[in-house]
Amino acid sequence: MTAKKATKRFPYIATVIAFSAIVIMLSLGFWQLERKVEKDERLESIKIAKQSENITMQQAFSDIEAFQDYVVTANGQPIEKYFYIDNKIVEGRAGFHVLVPYKTDSSVVMLNLGWLAATGLRSELPKFKLPAFDKVQGILYIPLNNRLVSETNTQYGEFPALLQQVDLAEISKHLNIDVLPAVLRLLPEQSDFSREWKPVVMSPDKHLGYAVQWFGLAVAGLTVYLLSVVKWMQGPSPTGSEAQKHQDKNRK
């Protein structure tokens, strides 16, 4: 009696896993291309802003997205309540960005005074002397909130306040007043602070490079999968020589 021929089962689970990974890698590649386009547009906006004249607070906050990266001139007085933004690295050194509220005739805007090096002790914040300025010039900046960063300082009204990021909603709670939805990064000048602002941390070329890497990994993954399928198709049937030997042994 001849053995009944069985069909090989297609590796459906491996196929689903392989194509899921390929789709994810392609998605990441296209996301990096989108980020490249966004950075190109941002750099062009910065170029235009640098060539433009200074604008007033009223102009800036009439359309903050359109006027981001423009130099804004404001008149007012600082409120001596300081916010230290943790984990800011400059040239390999840990430190803080220091923000202070600035009261104008009509509103309160947060000023980023710049970067100060850490003291080396987590319990001790670096000290500085606040300049007595009734007029400031700063670059309009819209802070981006990282949803992965959770704020832990809920001691509202206690200063100086240490925060994990520039969260203007949290800053408003600490001050118990509304602040404008953007920050003025003060222009570089002689002071205790370092003010080397980098509006674009990662260049468009780097995003393009990451996109190429993700697309390359997707192609490599698809190639490996196809080669594995070809090998599976060319492999022996489950009713091959080993199965036949097993049947002969049972007959004996």
CB burial of residue 133 (10 Å; 0-12, 13-18, 19+): middle
Return d(Cα 43, Cα 160) in angstroms, integer. Answer: 34
CA distances from 130 to 72, 191, 203 (A): 20, 10, 34
**What are the tens digits of pLDDT across the range 186-244?**
987 757 787 777 776 677 888 889 999 999 999 999 998 888 888 887 876 655 555 45
Percent of the chain with pLDDT over 90: 39
Mean pLDDT of the chain: 83
Percent of the chain with pLDDT over 70: 88
pTM of the model: 0.68
Locate 53 and state its tokens.
Answer: 């004249």
Question: Per mean pLDDT, which range of 1-15, 44-58, 77-91, 111-125 is the poorest?
Answer: 1-15
**What are the tens digits of pLDDT across the range 118-160?**
988 877 898 888 877 888 999 999 988 777 777 777 788 889 9
H helices present in 4-56, as ranges: 12-50
Instruction: Using alpha carbons only, give the angle 80, 85, 91 rounded to the nearest 5 degrees.
Output: 120
Return d(Cα 16, Cα 24) in angstroms, integer. Answer: 12
Sequence ranges of the domains in the chain: 51-204
Return d(Cα 66, Cα 45) in angstroms, integer. Answer: 9
Which amino acid is present at 211? A
Instruction: Please report the pLDDT score of residue 246 as a whole number.
Output: 47
| Mean pLDDT on 60-87 | 90
Instruction: Please report the pLDDT score of residue 214 as a whole number.
Output: 94
Question: What are φ and ψ of residue 65, in 5° steps?
Answer: -70, -40
**What are the tens digits of pLDDT across the range 13-55?**
888 988 999 999 999 999 999 888 888 877 777 777 777 778 8
